[in-house]
Structures are given as C-alpha cells and as structure tokens.
Structure 1
Amino acid sequence: MKFLPLTYFVFILCLGLSEQSNILGLFPHFGYSHFKVYSPILTTLAERGHNVTVVTYIKTPDPPRNYHELLLEGKGGTDVFSLEDHIPSRSLWTLFMEFYILHVEGQKSCEEFYNSPHVEEIIRRHSVSPYDMIILEIFNTDCYSGLSYLLQVPVVGLSSCALMPWHYARVALPDTPSYIQSEFIGFAEELSWQERLVNFIQSNGNKILYRLTEWKDNAMIKKYLNLDVDVREIAKTMTSLVFVNQHYSLSGNRPLSAQVKEIGGVHIPTGNKLPSIPKDIDDFLNASNETVLFISFGSMLRGSTISKDKFESIVSAVKKLNLRVIWRWDSEKAPFTSSRFIFPKWAPQFSLLCDPRVNIFWGHGGMLGTTEAVHCGKPLIVTPFYGDQFLNGKATENRKVGIVLNYETISEERVLEVLREIMRARYGENAKELSKVFRNREKSPLSKAIWWIEHVLNENIAKDLLRTKVVNMNWFIYYSLDSIVLLIFSAVLPILIIYTVKIRYF
C-alpha cells in the first residue's frame, strides 16, 4: 500500500500525457501587434502540456518547454510607418486601395513562407507525429490553408481585428451592411443612407475582389504542394472555430454563430505580470497632481515622424492647459526638455494606462491600445491612420469614451478643443462604467479561447458539429428566394387566371 501514492502519480501523469496534442501555429504576417494577440493563446497551450510548433517572424522570450519556433527570416514588425503616411479619407477609392495593399502583402508573406525550409520540416514532423490542429491567422490571404488540406487537420482561425468582409461566408456569419460595419469602415453606430451605401459597396466589392484574387493562392498551393484545390472551399470545410479580437461592449452587438467566439482583450496580462514603470517616468508622475496625458502611436508607427507644425501645435495646446504629457518617442534624443513633458523611447503602455496617475490616452486606434484603455477605464483621443483604426476610433465615440482627432485636422485650436472636451468628467465616468462591462465576463478571454480549442481537440466530433452546412448552400436558396418566387407566383397566378377569364368571357 505504501506504493499507492507513487502509482497514482504515475497514472495521472500518463493520463495527462495521453491528452497531449500536437498543434501547428501558422503566423507568417510580419506585424508584431498581430502576433501579440495570438502569443498568449499559443504559450498557454504549451504550458498546459500540448506540443506547439509556431511559424512566425516574432521570437517569444522565455517560451515554455513544449513551445517550438520555426522562425522566418526578414523584416520584424515594429516601427515601419511614418505618421506622414496617414490616409486622409475613407473614400471608396481609398478603401479598395487598402485592399490592394493587403493583397500584395499577403502574397509576399505566402512566397516567403513557402520558400522557407519550414514547410518541408512541417510535413516531415507530421509524418512522424501527426498534428491534431492548425491554428492560423486569418487576415489577407488563405494560402496557408493548403497545409490543412494536405495534412487533413482541422483549422482554428484567429483574427487580431474585426473580421474582414471575406471571412463571414466561411462560417455563415450574417453580414448586414445596413448596420454591421466592415473592418475598413469607421462610422457612427446608426448609419445614414449615404454611409449604408458606402458600407454596402465596399463590403461586397472587397468580397468580390478577394474572390477574384484567390486564384493566386490556389496557384501557390499548386506550385509548392502540388495540390489542385480551391482555398475558398478549404476555408469552408476545414475551419472549426474562429476567434475574433473584439467584445460587444466596445464593438457593438452583432449576430455570432457557434463557430465564432469573441475574445477581445485576450492579450491583456493579469496578476503580477505587469511590467514595472521606469524610475524616470515614475518620478515624473509623482512630481505633480496635474492631469496626465499619455501619447503613444503603437509599434507600427514612428511617433517621431510627426510633422513640425503638428508637433508644435500639440505642445502649444498642452502648455495652455493644466496638463502634463508622457509621449512615447522612438528616438534616443528627446525633442526638448520640460517639466511638463517626458519623451521615453520605451514605455510600459498597459502599466501606464492602468496607473491611476495617468488620466487620458492619445493613440492611433490600434485594437491593442484601444482595448487596453477600455480595460483600464481611461478616456481616449484617437488619431487613426489606416485599417481598422477608423472603426476602433469611432467605436470609442459611439460609447462616449473617446474623440476622433484626424491627423490632417491637427492644429493648436483643434487640439485645445479636443483636450478640453476629453477632460470633462463625463468621459472619465463613462470610461469607468465601460471598463466594468468589458472586464466582467463569465470567463477570461484567454480561458475562453483555451477551453474551446481543447474542446475541439478532445471531442472528436466537435469540429464537425460546429461547422454549419449552410456554408455550402446556394445563395438563391440561402435567402429563400426560391420560396419567395413560388409564393409570389402562387399569389399572382390566380389573379392572372381570373383576369384572363374575365377578358375572354365577359
């Protein structure tokens, strides 16, 4: 009997090992801000005993033992755009040009991925110890889905932003442009008829463009994997789950299928994981009780590239108010020294946003910074530059916790107007109320994601039960047009018969 505890321990250990799964993560997009959303999910799965192999540009510091990286060579993912590269309008031409840029980037990442030695290594590893699941980023290309078809492995898709227009069909998610805004758009919550028209045209137009460019993905899969496939069909038949980095409290209420799970804020650290605030910033915060504004334009934009006139406008406006500024400045040399300003090259953004001494956040509307500010209950000024930043900025205005200040309109007068408005007590109060709803969930975003992934891994039929047969339905039948035509015909036919009889005999 004295050996029972050891026997029991060995049994539990073996049970745990039997539930291990082999997971392949495909994240060949270069953006660090994208991968920051996915990294907690991948590392947590490894910490829970799963063998996780990840293709990425971004190296993870101190990864878990079961976490294996296949690093791509090339550009990393930080500070790649100038503030002067802003897009001043959301015209249809601009929106379709953004699609073109995304398409070109997607094809480039496909080429780099398939030309790397990692594809051959993945196939070799699968022949030795098969993968049970592929977790991949759904963004601007579906070329990676060729591997899921080759390996016959179910797919879990992750989106770091709102879903692109072409993602809805693969999970039969209702896409109603009369009120559901595309990732490319940024309007008030109730659309005017002009805005509905723009939303309708760009949403359906981008779907058509994506469909017309899918042949390139098919050709790439044929070239490198020797498969004659249609990525559109693979996406429909192989996708079991889609996680999207949003939450109804900020992004609005919209229909979701069982395949689509909101995990907005999944990247936000908990417990004692917050980076400490550097001493110089901490001393700056302790030096005064004035309102503190934190400015940061994220990892993809060089804050120091702001034009001289706009920089001087912001500085002049701040000096006229009871305000002090922490401005993340991606240069070793600060533009000037002042008791009211500090320009750190690096700043722990989330730690500062949740610090009670910081009062307002001015950012570019990236989903990470926006959700962090909402989580921490801080009002926002949003200066969007491209992509979903316009959508996110408008979402903060819809919730009355933020104000959109477009880059081209920055002037001393406009900055003063916005700062005075955002400093009103109601914005801080609204931000705190929104934070409560954003935080208060039945499960944390990370726990929710892990539960559903392991549910698909552990329950063999779950991946099939989650998929809806609607994705293969003809659009004519999907919209019940056959029934509508029949009903109209049934109603009109008697009238025609009566009319014909009346003309002929009476």
Structure 2
Amino acid sequence: MKFLGPISLILCAFISVNCVEALNILGIFPHAGKSHFFVFGKYLRELAARGHNVTVVSYFPLDKPIKNYYDISLAGKTKIVGGVFPFKRSYWSIIQVSWYLVTSGTESCSLLLSDKNVQTLWKDNSHFDVMVTEQFNSDCSLGLAYKLGLPVVGINSHVVVPWHYSRFGIPYNPSFVTFQFLDGGTKPTFYQRLERTIFNAYFNLLYKYFCQAYDQNTLAKYFNDIPPLEDLAREIKFLLQYSTFTLTGSTLLPANVIEVNGYHVEEAKPLPKDILTFIEESEHGVIYISFGSILKAATTPQDKVEEILAVLSKLPQRVLWKWDEKSLPGNPKNIYLSNWFPQNDILAHPKVLAFYSHCGLLGTTEAIHHGVPVVGMPIFGDQPSNANFIEESGLGVQIQVADLNTENLLKKFKTILDPEFRSKVKSLSKAWRDRPVSAMDSAVFWTEFAARYRNFTFTSPAATVPAYQYYALDILSLFFVIILTFILVTIKVLKSLLSPKKIVKNKTKKQYNRSNTLVTQ
C-alpha cells in the first residue's frame, strides 16, 4: 500500500490528462477578431477535454457542442473583424489602426456588459475558479473578474502590444525591442528608434486616456466600486504570450509571462484530392501564396499583381495562391487559385518549398512548425515586427511593398529556394519543436496553477515601481545636484582665490600713481 502514492504520481506524470480537480473556468473574449479566436479556440477546447468546465463568452460559439464546454454567444452584435486594409503602409495608416483599436475596444466593452446572459454571471453569483481573458484592446473583463472575485490569466495571439509592457513589467527599450507596428527589428537605425519612441508614447497615452477611461465609465454604469483598470491589470496572475525565443528572439520576460507559441497548430490532415494532385504532380515543388484577408483584388494595385506574376513565370515551381478572384491576368496555368485553402495541411506537404506571406503570426507559426521558408511582405498591424522576426531568426526574408518589383522579388525567392537555406530552416524548425513541455501543456498547467494558488501574486516588481525609481531619476537627480554643487563651490573658491590678488594689484597701481604724481610736482 505504501507504494500507491509514488505510483499514482508516476501515472499522473505520464498520462495525457492531468490528475487535477475539475475547475470552473470562465473565458471572456470580447474582441470580434476571428483570427484571434482561432488560436484561443483550441486551448479552450483542450481545457474542456481535460475535464474542466469551461464557459466561454465570445462571438464564435461552437458549431457542434462538446462535453464540458458552454457558450455565451455574442454573435450578431457586431461585425466580425476581417476586412480589407490599405495596401500601402504609412504614418496615417498607423494612426487609423490606433483609432480602430480604441473604438472597437470601447464598443466591445459596451456590448459585453449589456448582454443579458453575461449579466447573469454577476447577478446569479455564478461560481468560477479562474478567468481567462484576451489581452488586446480592452480591459473591461478585468472589472468583471473583480466583481466575481476571480484570479485572471491573460492570453493573446500576437506579440506584446505597446500598453502591455508596463503592466507586466516587461522592459521596453526602443534600441533593441521591436515595436509592433514599425520596422527595424532588434537593430534599428537612429530614425527608427525615434519613430518607436514617439509612437510608443502616443499609443500608451491614447489607450490610457481614451480606451481605459471609456471602459472605466462603462463599468461604472453597472458597478460602483471597480478600482482603476490599470491597477487590476497589474494583478493578472499570468500572461500566456504567443511567442517563443526561437522565432521572436530573446527578450527580458518576467516569470509570470509564459511563452506558448504554437499550440494552435493541428496535426496535418489529408488534403482534398484536387489540391493533392496539383502538388504531387509538380516536378519542382510548390510555392504557397496567402495574404490572409489583408490583400484582395479590390485593394491590390494592378502593377504589383503583374510584378508578382512576372516573378512566378520565371520560377519552375507550381503555385497555390489564395485569391478572392476567379482569375489572374493571363490566366497562368501553373497557378491554382482559390479563396480558401487548408493552409496548415498544405504547409505540411514535403513538396511545398516556400511560403509568400503577409506575415500574420499564425501563418508564420505554421511555417516554422513545418520548416517552410518564408518571403514576408508585411502590410498591417503586427506584421512589420513579425517580418523582422522571420528575417532575424533565419526563417526567411522580407520585402517591403514599396520595394516590390520583379528584380527584388525574384532575388528573395531565389534566396529561400536555395537548398542550403531550406536546410537551415529545417534545423530551425527542429529547434522550435524541441521543448521540455509542449506549448499546450504549458498553457493548461499555468491556467490550473493560477486557480490553485489564487492568493499568490507573481507580478514583477518592475510593474509597480514608481516611474522615477524605474528610470533612476532620483539617483540621477542626486548626482546632478552633487555635480552642480561641486561646480558652484569650485567657482566660488576660485573667485575667492583670485579676488585678493586683484585687490593687491589695484592697491599697487594706486600707490604707483600717487607716487608718480608727487614726483611730478
């Protein structure tokens, strides 16, 4: 009998379902972004599969019910995000993005709290053990967590956004930390560092004084005792951050920021027969092209499409191109068009040699998982920073829209199609997969951990230390006072030393003049 304890522990370590008590988990996902929830969905379903009771508030209810998973649907309350964005990136387009984030974030807060089914959560005193909520453009759910007395686990599907660095105590230094909406990578020029500094301040001020302020007022319509949202944000137990150092590089992350990049990637499924035949019959392999919902025929300049086609005509590979039109200029026979492809399954095929992408993080993650080199052409949102990760990690190369022409693009494709380059990408993929714990197991474990130890706080001291201490302004001020005092004292001493000499000199001169006068008389 005394061996049963160790045996049960061993069994818990090796069986796929954790030996933990079933938790009541509340998921709040007020952003109507389909690509975001595509990541979260698999994690939430996994929590349910491991025996937890998962209640999910979102715009994306399940098509078919599954055990332990309960939807509170917000579907139909607003338009699902996935529209068309400008082809060219500029300062004005970044400003537009910022206001979209603010307005959609504040709208999501209003829609969330006004929903009758959501209101029953606090009116009926529903019992939950932990809340999981997206960290994006609204902190409204943190007020709800406060009312329900729940520890919070944050989750995202992108790199850290500007206003989240301070709440988790993640150091932000424009000299080497990428900025989500701008170029430059980890080695920015002086001008790029200046851009980052200005836009970082702009985004943080906009979020604090518009988005958070509006959400605070919205919460006040329902509750009269919600603390400042930024204070609640600093109490988040863990952030499940959708990054990993093998792709996004080494960064200074606190212990409560857990990298879980890759858990959304499914095992490859068999391809549809027509797509499989097209790939299998390719003598020189296949290039896969997808720009998500960002680039469409209606917004892509005709000359850029022709430049891309000119490059593809010079390459021996066949092409699968996700495109919303039924044809392309010239109707090239080596290109297979469709408005939808099973992307992950395509990238898993060994004959798919390259991926021409807009650098969305989900597609980038699938590319590194399957070891497919990328030509990245960033357009919008976090794509510029993702493109830098692609290039700096060795996963691929990037080309800017402004530089898109036949010569430049052909050079990029020849670079990643080189067997040596592709071999290095396969090694990178192997390193990306090689982890002590899978991304999904890690995400689930820390969610359960937050529920088990709800009274413990793991916030980095950097998140709560006053700004004047964080930047050592008090110490610098002391040094400044000491140096200034030293300079003033030195000047005073020098004056005191020089003044007697001057007096003696003046007296001597007066005596000489007086003596001279007497002699003359």
Bin of the TM-score, shorter chain as denominator length: 0.7 to 0.9
Match of 1:145 among 130, 142, 145: 142
How do 1:215-230 residues align onto structure 2 when only pairs under 5 Å count? Answer: 215-227=213-225, 229-230=227-228
Distance across 1 between alignment mates of 2:185 and 2:393 = 10
Taking a change above 3 Å as real, the CA distance of residues 76 and 491 of structure 1, as seen in their structure-2 partners, is: closer
Deviates more, 1:313-322 or 1:443-452: 313-322
Question: Does 1:450 pair with 2:444?
Answer: yes
How do 1:94-113 residues align onto structure 2 when only pairs under 5 Å count? Answer: 94-113=93-112
The Cα offsets for residues 2-55 of structure 1, whole Å up to 9 and x where unpaired, read as xxxxxx9xxx9xxx9982221111112111110112112211111122111111
Question: Does 1:424 pair with 2:418?
Answer: yes
SS of the residue 1:294 aligns to: strand
Q: Is the 8 A contact 1:292 1:323 kept in 2?
A: yes
Distance across 2 between alignment mates of 1:490 and 1:415 = 58
Distance across 1 between alignment mates of 2:428 and 2:462 = 35
Taking a change above 3 Å as real, the CA distance of residues 324 and 146 of structure 1, as seen in their structure-2 partners, is: same
SS of the residue 1:265 aligns to: coil
Question: Does 1:71 pair with 2:73?
Answer: yes
SS of the residue 2:44 aligns to: helix
The one-letter amino acid paired with 2:121 is: I
Taking a change above 3 Å as real, the CA distance of residues 473 and 412 of structure 1, as seen in their structure-2 partners, is: closer
Matched residue, 1:342: 336
The one-letter amino acid paired with 1:407 is: V
Distance across 2 between alignment mates of 1:304 and 1:337 = 18
Displacement after TM superposition at 1:412 (Å): 3.7
The one-letter amino acid paired with 1:476 is: Y
Q: Is the 8 A contact 2:288 2:355 kept in 1?
A: yes
Distance across 2 between alignment mates of 1:490 and 1:403 = 51
Matched residue, 1:170: 167
Distance across 1 between alignment mates of 2:81 and 2:167 = 31
Matched residue, 2:27: 25
Distance across 1 between alignment mates of 2:370 and 2:378 = 20
Matched residue, 1:3: none
Note the residue ranges of structure 1 that are not aligned, 5 or more in a row.
1-7
Matched residue, 2:113: 114
Question: Does 1:476 pair with 2:468?
Answer: yes
Displacement after TM superposition at 1:185 (Å): 1.8
Matched residue, 1:86: 87
The Cα offsets for residues 354-375 of structure 1, whole Å up to 9 and x where unpaired, read as 2101000011110000111111
Matched residue, 1:383: 377
Displacement after TM superposition at 1:491 (Å): 5.8
Matched residue, 1:467: 459
Match of 2:389 among 395, 401, 407: 395
Q: Is the 8 A contact 1:21 1:51 kept in 2?
A: yes
Deviates more, 1:243-252 or 1:182-191: 182-191
Structure number with larger C-alpha Rg = 2
Taking a change above 3 Å as real, the CA distance of residues 199 and 17 of structure 1, as seen in their structure-2 partners, is: closer
Percent identical: 32
Question: Does 1:159 pair with 2:156?
Answer: yes
What is the TM-score with the length of structure 1 in the denominator?
Answer: 0.87
Question: Does 1:370 pair with 2:369?
Answer: no
Distance across 1 between alignment mates of 2:27 and 2:118 = 12
Match of 2:195 among 198, 211, 217: 198
Distance across 2 between alignment mates of 1:437 and 1:303 = 37
Distance across 1 between alignment mates of 2:394 and 2:459 = 37
Q: Is the 8 A contact 1:382 1:405 kept in 2?
A: yes
Matched residue, 2:282: 288
Match of 2:51 among 42, 49, 52: 49
Q: Is the 8 A contact 2:183 2:192 kept in 1?
A: no
The Cα offsets for residues 215-256 of structure 1, whole Å up to 9 and x where unpaired, read as 11111111233445421122123x111111111112111101
Deviates more, 1:166-175 or 1:290-299: 290-299
Matched residue, 1:133: 130
Distance across 1 between alignment mates of 2:165 and 2:173 = 10
Note the residue ranges of structure 2 that are not aligned, 5 or more in a row.
1-7, 13-17, 501-521
Displacement after TM superposition at 1:404 (Å): 2.1
Deviates more, 1:220-229 or 1:34-43: 220-229
Deviates more, 1:453-462 or 1:383-392: 453-462
Match of 1:355 among 349, 362, 366: 349
The Cα offsets for residues 144-172 of structure 1, whole Å up to 9 and x where unpaired, read as 22101212211111121111111011111
Matched residue, 2:517: none
Aligned residues, how many?
482
Matched residue, 2:516: none
Displacement after TM superposition at 1:384 (Å): 1.7
Distance across 2 between alignment mates of 1:263 and 1:164 = 16
